[in-house]
């Protein structure tokens, strides 16, 4: 499984010493634009690419020794330096915030905790998403529904109310029978209950496809993530399928990629020294796990759209960048926990 590597020089490097190369790079936002003209103010307001993307360029892929194995004496101080916290993010209206794309140039750093306590939590744990900073602002909770034929996770903006009928229901993640393909919906209505202009129908926010290899799931997983593109105002293009043949998965399978963006997980590199597959998470991930992944666009593998990885037995960091929103990123993370894929 991909071992996490942490790079110490990344944290204390001064932004001004960064190579100027990143300036020449095209604005990452343009990778996700599919509808209309590019935003007018792009030239005047040059936003710096997110830290993760920047530091990837000058950090060699050769991983440092996994830092959580040494320096036991200074453990508590070290841990603080190692995991840079989330920037200050105002979550005024939670429902709006979790569906809004991350601000350009800001990496939203979150933490996912898995709660297995209680009678059936082993089978149906609850997952909680918080901002990874001192305030630990709650964002989302998710849990698998019990009576579904396929894996079906409800996502809620209330940690205590994970009911389908409640007003806190914000989205869901549904898998196919095989458990290899997932679709993420917002809380809109089923197409059967559409109103006249179809505006109340649920949007598809994302789809995830896991490729099994010959070894089953041993070895690095391959993930494809399909998301709606962004329009000229940097807003998500609404994708409201009228039936199952019109969703993100079918569009992707039929190579109908209008207003659709395809992303992949970054292939980990084999490291002879540690005898494992590794990715550079810049100190945000400390435990090796098959679940660790980074999602990138094929045209710019240095811009990390999302990364997810283990930091303790039931704790994970989940960081996401524009154009993802919290619901998309959390649902993609939930899909990676799913039973049929799980191979701890």
Looking at residue 1, what is its pLDDT? Answer: 54
Helix (H) or strand (E) holding 9: helix 8-12
Which domains does the chain carry?
Answer: 85-337 (3.20.90.10)
Looking at residue 3, what is its pLDDT? Answer: 54
Extract the residue ranges of the chain whose pLDDT is less than 50.
5-24, 36-81, 342-344
Looking at residue 40, what is its pLDDT? Answer: 43
Looking at residue 119, what is its pLDDT? Answer: 59
**β pairing state of 3-5 and 276-280:** parallel
β-bridge partners, 204: 185
Looking at residue 122, what is its pLDDT? Answer: 61
C-beta of residue 56 within 8 angstroms of C-beta of residue 50: no
Q: CA-to-CA distance for 124 and 143, rounded, in angstroms?
A: 7
- 60-83 confidence digits (pLDDT tens): 333 433 333 333 333 333 333 456
């Amino acid at each position: 499984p991909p071992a996490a590597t942490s790079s110490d020089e990344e944290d204390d490097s001064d932004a001004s010493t960064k190579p100027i190369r990143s300036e020449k790079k095209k604005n990452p936002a343009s990778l996700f634009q599919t509808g209309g003209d590019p935003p007018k103010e792009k030239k005047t307001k040059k936003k710096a690419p997110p830290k993760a993307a920047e530091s990837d360029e000058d950090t060699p892929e050769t991983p440092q020794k996994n830092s959580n194995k040494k320096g036991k004496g200074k453990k508590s101080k070290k841990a603080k330096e190692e995991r840079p916290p989330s920037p200050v993010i105002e979550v005024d209206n939670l429902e709006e915030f979790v569906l809004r794309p991350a601000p350009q140039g800001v990496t939203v750093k979150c933490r996912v905790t898995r709660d297995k306590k209680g009678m059936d939590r082993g089978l149906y744990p609850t997952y909680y998403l918080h901002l990874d900073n001192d305030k630990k602002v709650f964002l989302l909770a998710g849990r698998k529904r019990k009576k579904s034929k396929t894996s079906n996770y409800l996502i809620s903006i209330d940690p205590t109310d994970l009911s389908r009928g409640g007003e806190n229901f914000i989205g869901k993640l549904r898998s196919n029978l095989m458990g290899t393909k997932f679709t993420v919906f917002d809380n809109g209505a089923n197409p059967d209950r559409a109103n006249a202009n179809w505006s109340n129908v649920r949007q598809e926010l994302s789809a995830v496809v896991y490729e099994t290899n010959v070894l089953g799931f041993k070895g690095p997983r391959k993930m494809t993530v399909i998301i709606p593109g962004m329009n000229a105002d940097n807003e998500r293009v609404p994708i409201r399928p009228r039936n199952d043949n019109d969703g993100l998965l079918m569009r992707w399978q039929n190579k109908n990629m209008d207003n659709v963006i395809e992303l992949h997980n970054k292939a980990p590199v084999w490291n002879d020294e540690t005898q494992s597959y590794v990715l550079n998470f810049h100190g945000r991930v400390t435990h090796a796990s098959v679940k660790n992944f980074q999602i990138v666009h094929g045209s710019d593998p240095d811009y990390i759209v999302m990364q997810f990885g283990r930091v303790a037995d039931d704790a994970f960091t989940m960081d996401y960048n524009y154009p993802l929103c919290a619901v998309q990123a959390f649902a993609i993370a939930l899909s990676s926990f799913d039973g049929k894929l799980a191979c701890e």
